[in-house]
Every structure is written in structure tokens, then in C-alpha cells.
Amino acid sequence: MMATALPLAGLLALAPLAAAAEDWPLAEIAAPSGLRLTLDEVIFEENPWSGEMLVVVRLLAPTLEDGGATTSTMREDMDWACETWGLPAAGTLSAPPDFVVVEMMAAPLERGVATPGVHQVFEQYRLEGPVCIWELF
């Protein structure tokens, strides 16, 4: 199965996602640490090696490289992002995904392409009902 990328504009064009989009922020918003985030895209993809279904939430965080983020504040922000965007996106699928992946990036990047010099942070979660459970990524 190929990945289905849903850029912000495309997100609003699909009926099931349009309803879900009301449940998540589309404009810039502050994470619990104060880090400013904007939804870049949501991608539904199948892992080609394992067959697992993933919901990938890609977030722009331009000040990510400015420092000040500690491991604990980043984990809190990533957990919050899974709850804020990952859970509603997962709810648009007919079957629950195996994982939600949250990706924060300092600048827009093409998914899967190494971009030295642009800070990125990834976390993976499995869902248990309405709860994001952190998985070692």
C-alpha cells in the first residue's frame, strides 16, 4: 500500500477527515512547553517491511533548534501531539492503526529524505482506546 499524504489543504477536501479536522488545531498552537507547532501533514502509510499501518503526524516547529527543550519537555510535547493530532486522525480510519508516529521538524522536509542541518524529533505510540502509549522508536 502506498502512503497517502494529506497536506493541510488536502485534509479539508476529504469528508471523513473534514469532520475530524474540527477536532484538531489547524493553526499554530503552543505545546505544553511553549514550543510553537503547526500541522504540516498527516500521512496514512503501511510499513513495507512489517505491514503495520501507521498514522504519521508531521509538525513544523521552527524554534526546535533554538535550544531550551529538555528530554522531559520534548516527551511531554510529543505525548501531547499524539493526543492532539494522532488520536483524531486515527479515528478517521475504519480499523485502528498499529502505531501513531509524531514527527516534529524545524523546517518543512520531504518525508524519508535525510536532511542534515534540520533538526527533527520522532516518537512512536500505540493506541489503547483514547490513550497514546509511548513505544521505543
Q: What is the pLDDT along the chain (137 residues), one digit of tens a residue?
A: 445 544 443 333 333 444 455 567 788 999 999 999 999 999 999 998 999 999 999 999 988 877 656 666 788 999 999 999 999 999 999 999 999 999 999 999 998 888 888 888 999 999 998 899 999 76
Number of folded domains that form the chain? 1
**Of 90, 78, 93, the residue nearest 130 (C-alpha):** 90
- DSSP 3-state assignment of 137? coil
Cα 35 from Cα 32, distance rounded (Å): 7
pLDDT of residue 113: 87
Residue type at position 122: F
pLDDT of residue 23: 66
Can you give the residue range of the structural domain that contains 35? 4-135
Cβ-count burial of 15 within 10 angstroms (0-12 exposed, 13-18 middle, 19+ buried)? exposed
